Amino acid sequence: MGGGANAREPERRPFIVSSSHLATPGSEDLSEFEFSLTVANNAFQHWIVRCMAAAGLPDLSAIETLILHHVNHRAKEKSIPDLMFALNISERHYLNYAMKKLDARGLIERRKQGKEVFVRTSAAGAGYCAEYARLRNVCLLELVPDDRRVGGTVIAEVAKALRILNGFYEQASRSVSSL
């Protein structure tokens, strides 16, 4: 069955990319993902900085905000290596700088056990985290559809896909560093 003149090829939608030189044929979808991830990451960082500012800490950076929230997570002490691992921070000096700032603001407390340092949120730090959570509920969660779908996909599935893609990028980072 020949298609003849009336046969139509499905229309290919254009890919939205920021670096066309990276969108090689067959990998345009990955380039589109990378651009979307970049834009979403920037939006997420703007959001967490602005939400933390509204919660009362206008001078915290995105990484400082993430560290404070993870230290507060489940109200359990965290070690420095645990924080680095959980947040995928490869450079300890980034964490140290952020922790000094959080410590100076009275948001965390440190405890040394042998050579290991453990941190937890202070009452003030936990209070700011609680206010952030309240504002997040009011301003962000009300935007999420009740069926938890964004672009036709359940948010938990998007998170799962991102974790898998994280593994690809981690492996590619190891590979490229050995070239």
Query: What residues have CB less than 8 Å from 95, skipping those under 6 apart?
Result: 67, 80, 83, 84, 89
Tens of pLDDT, residue by residue over 27-83, are: 899 999 999 999 999 999 999 999 999 999 999 999 999 999 999 999 999 999 999
Q: Tell me the pTM.
A: 0.86
Contact 95, 83 (CB under 8 A): yes
Residue with tokens 């834009």: 39
pLDDT at 6: 59
pLDDT at 3 over 80: no
pLDDT digit string, tens, across residues 127-162: 999 999 999 999 999 999 999 999 999 999 999 999
State the pLDDT confidence band at 2, using cuts at 50, 70 and 90.
low
pLDDT of residue 14: 80
86 residue type, one letter: A
- Please state which CATH number belongs to domain 29-139: 1.10.10.10
Which of 22-31, 80-89, 120-129 shows the lowest mean pLDDT across its residues?
Answer: 22-31
pLDDT band at 13 (very low <50, low <70, confident <90, very high): confident
Q: Does the pLDDT of residue 5 top 60, yes or no?
A: no
Long-range contacts of 123-132, Cβ-Cβ distance < 8 Å, separation of 24 or more? 125/68, 125/71, 125/72, 126/72, 126/75, 128/52, 128/55, 128/56, 128/57, 128/68, 129/68, 129/69, 129/72, 131/55, 131/56, 132/51, 132/52, 132/55, 132/65, 132/69
- Specify whether the CB–CB gap between 92 and 84 falls below 8 A: yes
Q: Where are the domains of the chain?
A: 29-139, 143-171
pLDDT band at 10 (very low <50, low <70, confident <90, very high): low
